[in-house]
Structure formats: structure tokens, C-alpha cells
Amino acid sequence: MLSTRDLVAGYDERTVLDGLDLDLPADAFTVIVGPNACGKSTLLRTMARLLTPRRGTVLLDGTAIRELPTREVARRLGVLPQSPLVPEGVTVADLVGRGRQPYQRWWRQWSSEDGAAVDQAMALADVTDLADRPVDSLSGGQRQRVWIAMTLAQDTDALLLDEPTTFLDLAHQVEVLDLLHRLRVERGRTVVAVLHDLNQAARYADHLVAMRAGAVVAAGPPREILTADLVRDVFGLACVVVPCPVTGAPLVVPAYTGGNSAGAASLSVGGLGGSAGSESVGGAGGSVGSAVTGDPDSSTASVPGARPTTGDAATPLAGSHPSKGL
Amino acid sequence: MLVAAVLTVLLLLAVVLSLSLGTPYVAPADVLRALSGAGTPYDLVVFDLRLPRVVLAAVAGAAFGIAGTLIQSVARNPLASPDVIGITQGAGLAATVALTSGMAAVLVAPTALVGGLLAAVLLFALGARHGLAAQRFVLAGVAVAFGFRALTEVVMLTADPIDGLRAQIWLIGTLAGKGWTEAAWIAGTLLVLLPVLAWAGWALNSTALDDDTARGVGLRPVARRIGLAGTGVLVAAMVTAQVGAVDFVALVAPQVARRLVRAERPPLVCAALLGALLLVLADLAGRRLLAPTQLPAGVLTAAIGGPYLIFLLLRGRRRSS
């Protein structure tokens, strides 16, 4: 679907990506993670041809994206930039309609096909009720769904999103991610997103790409690659990785630092679940509950308490609908 | 659509009124009869004395409205207009030089056009880096405007006072003594640019998107801005060269039209119609208010447009709060 070959990209004097080779699978939900300034947004922007690489190529289905007319790319690849500017006074239906731009010309401006695509996109993103509202009067979560609806109206096979959950509260984050998940499962779209939250990445991604300092450290299914070692490598953070009680996906729990992140990190790893600290507790479920509740100050051991409501449904949920159980 | 129809009717009424008022007074019925070619005693007054000037007012007003709409959309700033980004000052400097150096009268307008286009070139050279981004475009324009204005003052102060006064009147903008020739130049320019304007009317819709979003939906925002701004300054330079620096039409017409159609961007056709209406009325008022003394249309457009814009702004603020 999307690949990069020997990609070098950056801003002004600064080189962010230096010779990156990457293949993103089709029909999958790929999530790119990494610390701030690791180049994940730069990678996404370059793949979406918003940023011109200094060297190397981005391949869309095997063709160099630079050699395709931008209008044709826009029919195959939708992109939602990080915090786009909301045009003043524009209504939801109007903004979603802008997604039809690649299908229009000034002498052939609006077709019934465009109308149908906009209606469908608004229904999918659940913003049909807001159609006549000005976008700048909406809440952050609604606004984000409207932007996603705009890219959906583009009717593309692939969708690239740069931190689509930033500035949203937890419920709205889950709402947006569920929508993306549904697009992949029900519509067969290829979704690529940059996310900040590792646990959300692990929960929703079919394919996880972990980056550090402009290079890919690991790529693959989160259950295979997301370990405490990887988190320490990529983020420099000591943590425990346990299976999520709801989905069974890896759940990253930062190690106890006692409020002193530098010195206490190594200490707390020992305190938290003993030997489990620096290694991945693994995808095996089973013993993990005890590892977590093994915390000596179990005042925060709320996980077992939550289990009766969701516990038995945990594993079957994993593949279908990540938040239905909640 | 409805707004455009209403504006067209109002424009036609204003044209008839403008042909009818004056010395001698011609009843509107007689104006219509003369226009239909029936042959009336008023043919000379209507056709030869008044119609050229009224047509010029309408055409120039429409051109100002179009130029203002294009420039404001690229600048993303309702205050941007040809006289804010330096086009008017470029034309003004060239015209002042022409008028104070004893150049033949027929050469004043072409010289002013060259001046306006030079200012446009300078504006693009200064503003083009970073893809003619809105803020840089406006700042470059303000710098160009101040530079040319300063040079104009120097030329004025060193010139013969009588020539200086003529230049002053040109700078305010007047339709007195002008007619078919000037109207033909402006209308010809608009006609040649018609396909471009048809494209522009559609392309304006997407100037509100930020560059990343625009590229995402397959647009080339920088090329689009250059096309729109280039068209805008071309029209502005041409109309300013012909009728002088008529203030405020280019600024007010797009903003009033935008509020009339309740759109988030100034609409091109309605702005053109409104510009025409505004300038026809301003010229009529200029002719009649202190008759037989004639006030330049530019004075009246500022006098009418200013308060009306203030009214709209006050109303807008109340609604949005």
C-alpha cells in the first residue's frame, strides 16, 4: 500500500528522517508511536505528500507518489493534518463537501454522486445531525468527527491521520478510535494514524510502528513487539507490560517512580511485581493479575475490582470491537 | 441567487435614476424611451452626456468589487484591498509623475497602469517566499503602499502647484470627464479574464482551508493563491489606472456582499454587482449633492461606505457575542 524507500526529510536545516525504509500493510490499522520529535509526524506528512522529501521516494501502490497528479492521489489517499484550521462560519455539510474537491472541476462543480458521498460520510462519522451547524460552534470531539467525515467524503482506500485524538477527552478519544477501527473492519480501509497513547495504540493497531530519532525501532503486531524492553528503548521509560483486562492487548504501565522519575525508576521496578519489572509480562494473561495485585500498596489495585463486569468477555472482544465491552 | 437578482434590479434602477437626474431633468419614462431607441429630444443628454459616465461607474465599480474579493480572500483579511496592498499607490505615483511632467493626457492612464503593475511585481517578489502566505502577502503590500505613497508626496511637493492639484484630484478618483474609452478598457479586461474569473469564483471557496488540508484534498494552494492574487491585482491596476484611486469600493463591496448572502467568503458575482451599485450611486450623489459643484466619486464612496461598514461591524459583533 504505502512504502518509503531511503526517505530523507526535514525542516529547514534540521534533518528528521534519514534514509527510512518502511512498508505499511494494506487493509490494516497501522499506528505510529514514538517520543516527541522522533519524526512520526514528519513521516506521516511526507507519506501524505504534504512535505516534499529531500531524497528518496514514497510509493503508493508501487508508484512514486510524486509522479502522480495530486488530484489523483487525493482520490486514493485521504489525510487529516494535525489540528487543521477551521474556516470561519462554514457549516458541517459544507466542510465535509470540501472532501469532494478531487472529483470536481470549476466547470463541473457538484454532482449527485458528491451529495451521496457526503451523506454517507456524515452518517459514518455520526455527524448527520450537525449538518447545518457552523463547525466553529462544535465541541472538540464533534469537530474531529467532522474532519474525519471530510476525509471520508474523499472516498479513498487509505486514510492518514496525524494525532487525531489530541485535545480530546478520553471518551471522545475512544469514540474517534472506534470509528477508525470500524472503517478498517467494516469498510476495508487502510488506516494509518500517529498516536501518543501507547495503550490506545496497542489496543487498536493491527500493525504498530515504533520510532525513535527518525528511525523505526520495531514494526509488527503490537502483541508481538510491544514489550517493556521496547518501551525502554523507545521512550526511555521503565514499565511493566501486562495484558489488558478488556482486550488482552499489551497494556503499558509505567513503573513506580515515587515522584522522582530519575532515581526511583530502577527501585520501583523491583517493587512492582518483582522480577516481572524489566521484562515483558507477556501476552499470556494468566498470572498477570497476581503480578499487578502484588503491588505492596494495593490501594490502587482497582483492576481486579473492574474485572467481574468485563473479565469474561475479555478475549473474544479483542478482534472485533475494542470498546464495546466498556 | 436571490441576492444577485435583487442587486441587479437595484443596479438597473440606480442607472435609470442616474440618467434621469441632473440639469435638464429627464423623466424616467423618457429615459427608458430614449434607451429603447425610440428617438426622443433627450437622446443627446441621455446617450452622449450621461450614459457613458454611468456605464463607466457601473463597470469600474464591478471591477473594484472583483479585485477586492480576490485580494481579501488570498489575504484572509477583510481589510485588504488594492489601496492597502500598494497597487493603488503604484498607479498613483505613476499618474502623479505623468500629470506633473506635462505628459499628454492620453498617456496618463497607460502610465498609471504600468505603475500599478510594477507595484504588483514588487508585492509578489516580497510576498512570494513561503508560498504567498496570507500574513506575509499583506505585510509586503503595506510596505509597498507606504513606499510608493512617500515617493508620490515627494513628487507632489516638488511639482508646480496647479499640476499638484490635478494629481490630487486624480488620486481621490473621479469619473468627471471620463466615459466610453475608460469603460471599454475596464470591460475589455474583465471580458478577456472571464474564463479566469469563472475559475476564480469557484477556487475562492477553498482559500479558507489551511495549506495541509488543501493539499490533502488534492489542491495546490500556492499556485491557487498566486492565480487569484494575480488576477485581483491585474483588475485593480487596470481600473485604478482608468478612474483613479476611488476609495473603499474594493474594501466594502466584498464585505457587504458576504454579509448579504450569509457566506463565509465574499461571493464574486454579488461583490461585483454591489461594487457597481455603490459607485453608480456615489457618482450620482457626487454630481447632485452640491450641484453645480461636482464632488469626486471617491469622496462619496468613502462617505457612504465607511458608516455602512461600521454599522455592519456593530451588528455582527452583537450577533456573535
What residues contact residue A289 under an 8 Å CB cut-off, 6+ apart? A303, A304, A307
What is the β-pairing status of strands A190-194 and A239-243?
unpaired
- Together in a domain, A249 and A204: no
CA dist B163 and B153 (Å) reads 13
Chain A residue closest to B73 (CA)? A87
CA dist B127 and A123 (Å) reads 42
Is B212's CB within 8 Å of A78's CB? no
pLDDT of residue A116: 93
Is B213's CB within 8 Å of A74's CB? no
- Together in a domain, A189 and A233: no
What residues contact residue B8 under an 8 Å CB cut-off, 6+ apart? B273
Distance in Å, alpha carbon of B213 to nearest chain A alpha carbon:
6
CA dist B55 and A74 (Å) reads 45
Q: Over chain A, what is the mean pLDDT?
A: 81
- Together in a domain, A240 and A300: yes
Asked whether residue A325 is assigned to any structural domain, the reply reads no
What residues contact residue A186 under an 8 Å CB cut-off, 6+ apart? none
pLDDT of residue A323: 58
- Together in a domain, A178 and A149: yes
Would the pLDDT of A76 be above 70?
A: yes
Of the three residues A215, A244, A276, the one that is the final residue of a domain is A215
CATH for A166: 3.40.50.300
* CA neighbor of A253 nearest in space, from A233, A270, A266, A238: A238
Which of A75, A85, A101 lies at the smallest CB-CB distance from B206?
A101
Q: Which of A71, A101, A132 to mutate to test the interface with B (most CBs of B within 10 A)?
A: A101
Report the SS3 class of residue A216: strand
- Together in a domain, A207 and A312: no
Of the three residues A215, A249, A278, the one that is the final residue of a domain is A215
How do residues A107-149 score in pLDDT, each as one tens digit? 777 888 899 999 999 998 889 999 999 998 898 888 999 999 9
- Residue A170: give the domain boundaries: 2-215
The total domain count for chain A is 2
Would the pLDDT of A229 be above 50?
A: yes
How do residues A172-218 score in pLDDT, each as one tens digit? 899 889 999 999 998 899 999 999 999 999 999 999 999 999 899 99
pLDDT of residue A322: 56
| A81: confidence class by pLDDT, cuts 50, 70, 90 | very high
pLDDT of residue B129: 76
Q: Which of A90, A148, A155, A159 to mutate to test the interface with B (most CBs of B within 10 A)?
A: A90
How do residues B210-252 score in pLDDT, each as one tens digit? 889 999 999 999 999 999 999 999 999 999 999 988 878 998 8
Spans of chain B below 50 pLDDT: 318-321
- Together in a domain, A206 and A254: no
How do residues A293-305 score in pLDDT, each as one tens digit? 444 444 443 443 3
| A261: confidence class by pLDDT, cuts 50, 70, 90 | low
- Together in a domain, A175 and A295: no
Is A80's CB within 8 Å of B202's CB? no
Burial of A172-206, coded b for 16+ CB within 10 Å and e otherwise, reads: bbbbbbbbbbebbeeeebbbbbbbebbbbbbbbbb
Is A70's CB within 8 Å of B215's CB? yes
Q: How much of chain A exceeds pLDDT 70, in percent?
A: 79
- Together in a domain, A166 and A290: no
- Together in a domain, A23 and A46: yes
CA dist A105 and A284 (Å) reads 55
Q: What is the ipTM of this complex?
A: 0.76
How do residues A46-56 score in pLDDT, each as one tens digit? 999 999 999 99
Domains of chain B (ranges, CATH numbers): 2-320 (1.10.3470.10)
